[in-house]
């Protein structure tokens, strides 16, 4: 099997990137104090109503890292599909 010219299509690189994101997520989870909270003020309009609540700050880095992981997987899938299309031509 030939190596891809597009580095985003390499599954090994994808797994390394996801592994780094998991390590960063674990480090952020265990270093942020569980008692640290961010108070979100409520919002109310004619269509949307959100009550006052406290959000644990330790979930915010997990959310951002999860979005980066999603982007890595989607970029890998796109690169492999484009590579397959090029090989069919």
Residue 1 lies in a domain: no
Residue 32 lies in a domain: yes
Total tally of structural domains belonging to the chain: 1
Say whether pTM exceeds 0.85: no
* CA-based R_g, the chain, Å: 20
Residue 2 lies in a domain: no
Query: What is d(CA 43, CA 57) in angstroms, rounded to the nearest whole number?
Result: 20
Question: Cα 60 vs. chain centroid, distance in angstroms?
Answer: 11
Q: For the residues 61-82, what does the mean pLDDT come to?
A: 93
- What three-state secondary structure class fits 6? coil
Q: For the residues 46-56, what does the mean pLDDT come to?
A: 82
Q: What is the pLDDT of residue 3?
A: 60
| Segments forming the whole domain that contains residue 40 | 7-88
Do residues 37 and 57 make contact, with C-beta atoms less than 8 angstroms apart? yes
Confidence check: pLDDT of 2 > 70 = no
Strands 37-40 and 53-56 turn out to be antiparallel
Query: Is residue 54 very low, low, confident or very high in pLDDT (cuts 50, 70, 90)?
Result: confident
Residue 71 lies in a domain: yes
Structure confidence by residue, pLDDT tens digits, 14-36: 999 999 999 999 999 999 998 88
Backbone dihedral angles phi then psi of residue 49, each to the nearest 5 degrees: -135, 125
């Amino acid at each position: 099997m030939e190596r891809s010219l597009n580095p985003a299509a390499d599954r090994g690189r994808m797994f390394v990137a996801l592994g780094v994101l998991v390590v960063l997520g674990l480090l952020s989870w265990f270093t942020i104090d569980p008692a640290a909270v961010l108070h979100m003020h409520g919002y109310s309009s004619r269509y949307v109503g959100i009550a006052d609540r406290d959000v644990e700050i330790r979930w915010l880095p997990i959310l951002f890292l999860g979005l980066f992981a999603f982007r890595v997987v989607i970029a890998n899938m796109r690169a492999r599909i484009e590579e397959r299309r090029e090989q069919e031509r």
